[in-house]
Structure 1
Amino acid sequence: MSTSTTPICRPFSPRSNGRHMPIATTFTCYLQYKLQQPARASTTTQRPAKTDEMTISITGATGFIGRKLVQRLVADNHKIRVLTRSMSKAKRIFPANDYPGIIIVEEPEWTKYIQGSTAVVNLAGTPISTRWSPEIKTDIKNSRVSVTSKVVEAINAATIENRPSVFVSATAIGYYGTSEGETFDETSSSGNDYLSEVCREWEANAQKVDDTVRLVLLRIGIVLDKDGGALAKMIPLFMLFAGGPIGSGKQWFSWIHRDDLVSLILEALSNPAYKGVINGTAPNPVRLAEMCDRLGSVMGRPSWLPVPEFAVKAIFGEGASVVLDGQKVFPKRAQELGFKYKYPHVSDAIRAIISS
């Protein structure tokens, strides 16, 4: 025997207001009506994630800047492809147990992994703070210019679906040349010395990237942290009470804390307003003597033993210009874009570095 159930509700709409129905029946029908309606999209604006997950290919990842950048990107759950010329070095710096998601790729395979990446960061370059033999000068240029060319060729060869949308390529404030009295920002012209020449070629190759790719050229200053760069050489001398400025100490020192530089790179990756040339320096350059005074003060050591110019030239030859000559560079574009420096003053940066 079949039993039919007569629905207690006639077609219900909010406009009917349930007229001619008992209150209980009206409420039941209203619930039934609501459950039958298709789900409506929420009109509440969701706060976006700080940075959408990206797949980022990085040259120079094993270097002083690259190591810190990889750490930050991994902490933010991005997928990292380390493009290296030394698999053994990269595996030593990024052991699989500590960096399980990282893919390490040697140079012949770079193209395959660049294509399909969301972004590429190019930090490759042989250190310049050494004696410049003809061979070293060739390597200084090729490690920047040639690598950049290879990266750009790989990006441009990709189909539009697989092409990275952002290319952040390092260059250097050496682009501007050196000066005691002149100040420089992103609109300043290039100098006429060897490093200026290298930087011009470096940037020119990066600018060959396809127009569909957002290009950011970071002209990086002197990067400060304790495990690399200039400070790593200076701190031991100050510990031994043998610290002091190099040469006259009057040369300008356009610096940036490594954490701020990494934050600037992260902004360049995620913020479409970042494009073209951006100086990677802090907003308050100082003369080298002041920098050494601040370092000595924080460490409780005097800055009293200058390194004479002739000694620096004897050790570094033509490469002495890196430390004996300076430039006063301001990050005009970064400030216009509203970038917030954690360490705008060198005393704050040094204090944080020494106490870490």
Structure 2
Amino acid sequence: MSRETFVFKSLIPAPAREVFNWHKRQGAFERLSPPWVDCKILSRSGGIENGAQVTLLISNGPITVKWSLEHKDYVEGRQFCDFQREGPFAFWQQIHRVVPETDTSCYLEDIVEYELPAGGLGDLAGGRIIHHELESLFNYRHRTLIQDLVYAREANIRPIRVLVSGSTGLIGSALVPYLTSQGHEVARLLRPGTVVPDTDHNERIRWDPYEPKVDTRLLEGFDAVVHLAGDNIASERWTDAKKKKMIYSRLKPTQFLCQALNSLNKPPAVLVAASAIGIYGDRGLEDLTEESPHGEGFLADTCVQWEAAARGVDTDVRLVNLRLGVVLTPRGGALQKMLLPFQMGGGGPIGTGQQFFSWIDIDDVLGSIFHSIVTGTVSGPVNAVAPYPVQNADYAKVLGKIIGRPAIVPMPAFAARTMFGQMADECLLASQRVLPVKLTETGYEFRYPYLEKSLRHVLGKFAD
């Protein structure tokens, strides 16, 4: 049985104290959890100080393990250590060390000492795999930390209070730790029956989005509201009942929320309300900006009504209608549904493959939301898409390349329609070449403007 040591070290363009304090904040662990690994916190006591403990349930493909860790060897401003109490390794210890370089920079060094179970057999079977996984993990963590710290320093704003609806959804569950790890305060606006783990210590405000029932006193004093609620459009075929639910789940909650905000003595300065690029319909090769007229179809009509409902908020509140493109993350949405077919070698273009696919990295969704909150010149419709849309066939080719599988099995248009019905024509086969003009003109810098870099980031397939 041999113990291995893995070291990952990066120069961080921020003072050591700032970097260390970032790791102490609520949401830091969740923010640094890679999206290609399903990691749930089962229990947690304390932060990163000596004696604090956390138990995780980690799923990676077909393998699920329970992992209990305890913090020790804490040195304020310099280091903390995770020691395995129970889990998949015969031994595991990780030291997080922050080493000052200059007044404005430091080194972050992660030192992992581990021993695989089953002795030499475990080393033979899993040694290279573990090293590769650690390389991807810390590449992701350090890169994300650097980007967050740099963006926070450039934004240079005081801590703010943000109310988030849809906080347990695909975007909301990523947005909450993004905000709290930067030192902002978040409250979740939760529907009846929505369960949030006890390990989450953010404020919770209950409301019924289909009835005007909410204690408006609890909504006073927020700097911003982010409204993300809405039924998943891709969860099933668009039957009449499904389409009614899609509309109702967007219009009623938005109308009731605006009514509640209008009744406040201290309303928020800004409301960022989700919308979608589906508002443009099928537009072929046309360049679509925020000034483009809306298109035709059920989805376009739904988005038009959705945005109109949000305009019910008082004019004293700056309104941003965030028109979201296809969000890239393996935790849900289109990419999650595509991964298995591609991994099995059955992926390829849909229809002709010539239709434009306007996508955005999950981290740029979060960045776009925060940019919309803190940038006073951002208002009205905002296209939340990457600056370089691609055609569907090119998307398939890049995804296949990254996961190491051919992408040559097409899905004919008739097959897509047979499987998905109306959703195929309005989502899979529709062409939307959408451009983020407002974000670009107001100074937002995309972390991942190019498709291949985004997919490598969210899938942990970093280029050598």
Task: Judge same fold: TM > 0.5, yes or no.
Answer: yes
Higher-strand-fraction structure? 2
Q: Residue 96 in 1 paired to residue 201 in 2?
A: no
Which residues in structure 2 correspond to 1:1-356 (within 5 Å)? 50-89=156-195, 91=196, 95-97=197-199, 99-107=200-208, 108-109=213-214, 111-129=216-234, 130-159=236-265, 162-321=266-425, 322-355=427-460
Q: TM-score, normalised by structure 1?
A: 0.81
Q: Give me the whole-angstrom Cα distance separating, in 1, the residues matched to 2:397 and 2:347.
A: 9
**1:181 to partner: Cα distance:** 2.2
Q: Give me the whole-angstrom Cα distance separating, in 2, the residues matched to 1:293 and 1:83.
A: 40
1:102 is aligned with what amino acid?
E
Q: Give me the whole-angstrom Cα distance separating, in 2, the residues matched to 1:135 and 1:88.
A: 22
Q: Give me the whole-angstrom Cα distance separating, in 1, the residues matched to 2:218 and 2:184.
A: 15
Q: Give me the whole-angstrom Cα distance separating, in 2, the residues matched to 1:74 and 1:167.
A: 18
Comparing both chains, which one has the higher relative contact order based on Cα–Cα distances under 8 Å and sequence gaps of 6 or more?
1
**1:207 to partner: Cα distance:** 1.1
- Any conservation in 2 of the 1:58–1:123 contact (CA below 8 Å)? yes
Secondary structure in 2 matching 1:260 = helix
1:355 is aligned with what amino acid?
G
Secondary structure in 2 matching 1:290 = helix
- Any conservation in 1 of the 2:190–2:204 contact (CA below 8 Å)? no
**1:244 to partner: Cα distance:** 1.0
In the TM superposition, what whole-angstrom CA distance separates every residue of 1:131-188 from its partner, at most 9, and x where no partner exists? 11111101111111111101110111112xx211110011111111112221200000
Pair 1:142–1:110, CA change in 2 (3 A): farther
CA RMSD of aligned residues (A): 1.7
Q: TM-score, normalised by structure 2?
A: 0.63
**What is aligned with 1:33?**
none
Q: Give me the whole-angstrom Cα distance separating, in 2, the residues matched to 1:218 and 1:263.
A: 12
Contiguous gaps of at least 5 residues in structure 1: 1-46
**1:222 to partner: Cα distance:** 0.5
- Any conservation in 1 of the 2:205–2:218 contact (CA below 8 Å)? no
- What count of residue pairs does the alignment treat as equivalent? 303
**1:110 to partner: Cα distance:** 6.0
- Any conservation in 1 of the 2:187–2:202 contact (CA below 8 Å)? no
**1:104 to partner: Cα distance:** 4.4
In the TM superposition, what whole-angstrom CA distance separates every residue of 1:213-235 from its partner, at most 9, and x where no partner exists? 11111111101011111110111
Higher-helix-fraction structure? 1
